[in-house]
Amino acid sequence: MAETEITAFLTHLARVGRVAASTQNQALSALLFLYKEVLKQNLGYLQGVERAKRPSRLPVVLTRDEVHKIFAHMHGTYRLMAGLLYGSGLRLMECVRLRVKDVDFGYARITVRDGKGGKDRVTMLPVNLAKPLERHLQKVKAQHEEDLEAGFGSVFLPGALARKNPAAAKEWAWQHVFPSSRLSADPRAPAGVKQRHHVNESVLQEAVKNAVRASGFPKPATCHTLRHSFATHLLENGYDIRTVQELLGHKDVSTTMVYTHVLNKPGIGVKSPLD
C-alpha cells in the first residue's frame, strides 16, 4: 500500500468518518512517520485527498455583569491572574509566563515577550490592578529572597541568555510574576539544579471553570473567553478595531507605533474595560 491507499483512507476519514481537521492531520502525520521512519519508504505527492473542513466557530463573549459575577467567585492570586486576562487581553500562557521586568507600573503597561507568532507587543495594565499586583510582587520578592538564602533562586532563561549571562537566572527582574509554590528540577537546566518555574496553567483554568460554574450562567466560558470579552468591551467603549488588534497582538505592528498612538498620549490612552 502506498499513495493510492493513503489517499483513499484520508478521504474516508473526512467523508464517512466526519472527523475534525485536526484528527485527519494527525492520521496523515502518523502515516508519514510510519513510511519514512519505520518502513523506510518515500511517499510521493498525495493527490485528491478530500480535506476535513475546520468549522468556523463564533467566540463566546461575556457581558460586563457576567464578568463581575465570575470575579466575585475568585480570590487571591487567581483573581489577579484572571483580571489580567480580561483587563489586559493576555492569553493564558502569556499570563503565567509573565516576568517581573515586563510589568511597568510607571506607564501602566505590560510588555508581552515572545507571544503567539514569536512577536512582542505592549498592552495596558489596568489601573485598579496596579496596587494588588504590587502587593503580590512584594510577597513573591520575599519568597525569592528566601530561595536565594537557601541556595536556590534561579529561573529558566529564554534563548541563549543562560549561556551569555548565567547570573541573570537569579536576578529579581527575570523571576516569574506568578511562580510555582514549590521548586522543581527543570529538564532544560543542568542536572540536579532546582528552579522555581511559573505556576501551572491548569490551576488557573480550573479556578475560572469553578467560578463560571458558581456564577450560574450557562455560557461555556473559559480563560480565553475573558480575552474575547476584553476585545468586545473595548469596541463597545468606542475604540477603533485597529487599536484593539494592536493590543491583542493580531497585527504585525511596531512597538513604537503602540507606544506613540495607544499608550503614551495623555488623554488618548486606552482605558482597560476592567477600570
Active-site choice (73, 99, 194, 224)? 224
Determine whether 242 is an active site residue. no
Catalytic hit among 12, 51, 53, 116? 116
**Going along 114-271, which residue ranges are E strands?**
121-124, 184-185, 194-195
* 224 assigned to active site: yes
CB atoms closer than 10 angstroms to residue 101: 14
* 45 classed as catalytic: no
Which of 78, 86, 91, 144 is labelled catalytic? Answer: 91
Pick the catalytic residue from 196, 197, 198, 227.
Answer: 227
Catalytic residue among 69, 170, 259, 261: 259
259 among known catalytic residues: yes
Annotation marks residue 68 as catalytic: no
Question: Which pairs count as long-range contacts for 256-261, CB under 8 Å and 24+ apart, including other chains?
Answer: 258/121, 258/122, 259/122
15 is catalytic: no
CB 126 within 8 A of CB 89: no
What number of other Cβ atoms are within 10 A of residue 162's Cβ?
Answer: 17
Q: Which of 79, 250, 251, 261 is catalytic?
A: 250
How far apart are alpha carbons 120 and 117 in whole angstroms? 9
Residue positions annotated with a catalytic role: 91, 116, 224, 227, 250, 259
